[in-house]
Amino acid sequence: MIDAARQLAVRAAVRLDAGVNAEMALDQELRAAGIDHPQRPRATDLFYQMVRWQIRLDHALSHCLSRPLRDLQPEVRAMLRLGALELLVERHPAYAVVDSSVSLAGKLAPAAKGLVNAVLRRLATAGDGPWPEDPVLALAVRHAHPAWLVGRWLAQFGQDDTLAIMAWNNSRPPLWVRVNRMRGTPAAYQDQFQVTGEPHPEAPTALALAAQPVRKLAGYGQGWVTPQGVGSQVVSAMLPLSPGWRVADVCAGHGTKALALLERQSRIEVLAGDLRPEALRLIPGEARRLGLPAPLTRSLDAAHPPRELLGSFQAVLVDAPCSGLGTLQRHPELRHRCQLEDVARLAGEQARILAGAASLVAEGGVLQYAVCSWEPEETTAVVEGFLGTHPGFAQVGRRWLTPCRENTEGFFIAVLRRSLAEDHSGR
């Protein structure tokens, strides 16, 4: 009998190889199999483990193949990676891994049964093979991270913290939720729904739950909880708010942070803006589920905001598009897709967005910049460049979040305040 979870994981990996993002690739396969498929948890775990450990798996497989892994049929490549994961990382018995992998090949790629059998038998004997001689490259392969990124982290954080960051990225994340303050506290949520969860000291509304489909969360339909990572919750919590303020979230996406702001302070007017109008369509329904006043939504380019909005917000949040390199635990495919040149390109876009968003801030108001990255180009360089060209703003707060210190995803947050005297009419 073919193991349905392994088959689902391989099919999702094929979609990922074709360019689909990891979450969508897995979701498409699970929907095709039936969204409540009993093998969903195991298929999900196998798939994400394959993606997390791919660099190490490919290194090991390269010593057991007579041709490049990239030249193989996508289904075969994915089956070999899955077998390598089970052998090298999960340490399953070799006979069981080889047998189940050959059976799976018979279903998905019958002509490759012999290849799968031979390669995995070799791998069971050879193990990881020799590590690269270069110490940075060896560290990168062993911990399945791109070498260019490991080199940067070693220079920025040192070896101990870099190892801690990579270990975090390779661990299985829980499902973090934000408990709706309008409903009650995390303790009240746990008591009412008999839920076991783990709080986090950095975010008083955060609770870690066992991974499960979001819509099956206890209290989800009643608006008690919303999936949101701890770092993202800290970003929402750091923005200063007062009753009666007009607040703009100019890169709002699906509105997770905009709605978190309303849970903190319902007596504010929130504009949720994004370049993609389709992302904003979910926000009114989410507000209803949470029992909140719906934010205003508007499709806009934060780098070039509408003139009629200039200087009209007491607080503006810029959660800018970024490399996401601080979120490799939850988005492991980024370690294969993001390159150094992407970081520089994104930094230019972030600088333009921050400058545009600044024009929305009223005198005396605050501008908060956040990215889920530690890379200098996207963090301090963007803020320092902005302050150098906008003398009417001053930095009044800064926060770094790292797995090795705060036990969260990687974030950089800067809070800037506009002086009362600045004239914004010359934009």
Distance CA 380, CA 371 (A): 11
Q: For every residue of 35-80, which 3-state class applies, written as one string?
A: CCCCCHHHHHHHHHHHHHCHHHHHHHHHCCCCCCHHHCCHHHHHHH
Establish whether 64 is a catalytic residue.
no
Contacts of 286 (CB under 8 A, 6+ apart): 226, 254, 255, 259
pLDDT tops 50 at residue 121:
yes
Please say whether the beta carbons of 197 and 219 come within 8 A: no
Q: Average pLDDT, stretch 345-356?
A: 98
What are phi and psi for residue 67, nearest 5 degrees? Answer: -140, 165
Q: Apex CA 63: angle with CA 53 and CA 97, to 5°?
A: 60
Percent over 70 (pLDDT), the chain: 97
Both structure tokens of 396? 């009044």
What are phi and psi for residue 292, nearest 5 degrees? Answer: -115, 155
Amino acid 35: pLDDT: 64
Amino acid 2: pLDDT: 61
Q: What is the dihedral of CA 86, 91, 92, 93, to 10 degrees?
A: 120
Indicate the class that CATH gives domain 4-126: mainly alpha
Catalytic residue among 251, 338, 372, 404: 372
DSSP secondary structure string for all residues of 335-380: HHH--HHHHHHHHHHHHHHHHHHHTTEEEEEEEEEEES---TTTTH
pLDDT tens track for 148-166: 999 999 999 999 999 999 9
Q: Domain spans of the chain?
A: 4-126, 135-169, 175-227, 230-418
State the sign of the Cα–Cα–Cα–Cα dihedral 264, 357, 322, 378: negative
What are phi and psi for residue 91, nearest 5 degrees? Answer: 60, 40
pLDDT tens track for 186-238: 999 999 999 999 999 999 999 999 888 888 899 999 999 999 999 999 999 99
pLDDT tens track for 250-273: 999 999 999 999 999 999 999 999
Q: Identify the CATH homologous superfamily for domain 230-418.
A: Vaccinia Virus protein VP39 (3.40.50.150)
* Secondary structure (3-state) at 10: helix
Amino acid 1: pLDDT: 42
Amino acid 216: pLDDT: 87
Amino acid 427: pLDDT: 42
Q: What is the mean pLDDT of the chain?
A: 94
Both structure tokens of 100? 């189940």
Indicate the class that CATH gives domain 175-227: alpha beta
